[in-house]
């Protein structure tokens, strides 16, 4: 209660939320766009797939020391970590979704005289959408877990930083409140994308 009234919880939550939203949205949009290009163009997919396969398994927090050297300890650092956390999984799921689209459906659309743009927008993307949203759902929750860890290590504000200050003061109650906020936000983000997937897929049918 005192955390809320004093504004400490709200201000730190707002900092974490801003970082997650900016990093997740930027990483997801970039992942979807690059994934569409790679999925649609076989040559580009063959060229860049080995690079993606090499970088994808690296945990997002594994980039933290490198980004601390490149970017420094500032507001851009946690956003960059969330960007990486979101980009590669969404990219991978987008490419996979497009690759798994039934080739007969594409051939049938071409036979009927559909343009490549129409095929991409009305055939490929609707069929690849479940895979794309699988990546978004997974990373929506993961983004919150990663931002908390990044704030614990390198950032003086945010829910993660608040938890570290509470630990140094032996304030178990504050830590529990922060964990509850984290749990709720992970759940809200994941449910949001389940809802969006349902609305979009039903609208495309």
Domains and CATH numbers, the chain: 2-102+128-204 (1.10.3720.10)
pLDDT at residue number 116: 77
pLDDT at residue number 87: 93
SS3 readout for the chain? CHHHHHCHHHHHHHHHHHHHHHHHHHHHHHHHHHHHHHHHCHHHHHHHHHHHHHHCCCCHHHHHHHHHHHCCCCCHHHHHHHHHHHHHHHHHHHHHHHHCCCHHHHHHHHHCCCCHHHHHHHHHHHHHHHHHHHHHHHHHHHHHHHHHHHHHHHCCCCHHHHHHHHHHCCCHHHHHHHHHHHHHHHHHHHHHHHHHHHHHHHHHC
CA–CA separation, 143 and 32 (whole Å)? 17
CA–CA separation, 205 and 202 (whole Å)? 5
CA–CA separation, 58 and 44 (whole Å)? 22
pLDDT at residue number 3: 64
* Sign (positive or negative) of CA dihedral 140, 146, 150, 153: positive
pLDDT at residue number 22: 94
**Residues of the chain where predicted confidence (pLDDT) is lower than 70:** 1-5, 202-205
| Best CA proximity match to 143, nearest among 21, 34, 55 | 21
Rg (CA), the chain: 20
pLDDT at residue number 5: 67
């Amino acid at each position: 209660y005192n955390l809320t009234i004093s504004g400490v919880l709200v201000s730190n939550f707002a900092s974490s939320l801003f970082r997650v939203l900016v990093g997740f949205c930027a990483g997801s949009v970039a992942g979807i766009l690059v994934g569409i290009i790679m999925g649609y163009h076989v040559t580009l997919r063959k060229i860049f797939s080995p690079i993606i396969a090499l970088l994808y398994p690296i945990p997002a927090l594994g980039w933290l020391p490198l980004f601390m050297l490149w970017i420094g300890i500032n507001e851009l650092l946690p956003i960059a970590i969330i960007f990486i956390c979101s980009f590669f999984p969404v990219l991978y799921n987008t490419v996979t979704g497009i690759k798994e689209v039934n080739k007969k459906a594409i051939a049938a659309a071409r036979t009927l005289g559909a343009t490549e743009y129409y095929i991409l927008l009305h055939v490929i993307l609707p069929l690849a959408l479940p895979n794309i949203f699988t990546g978004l759902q997974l990373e929506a929750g993961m983004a919150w877990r990663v931002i908390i860890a990044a704030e614990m290590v390198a950032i003086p504000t945010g829910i993660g930083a608040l938890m570290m200050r509470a630990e140094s003061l032996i304030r178990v109650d504050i830590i529990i409140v922060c964990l509850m906020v984290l749990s709720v936000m992970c759940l809200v983000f994941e449910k949001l994308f389940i809802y969006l997937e349902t609305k979009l897929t039903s609208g495309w049918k």
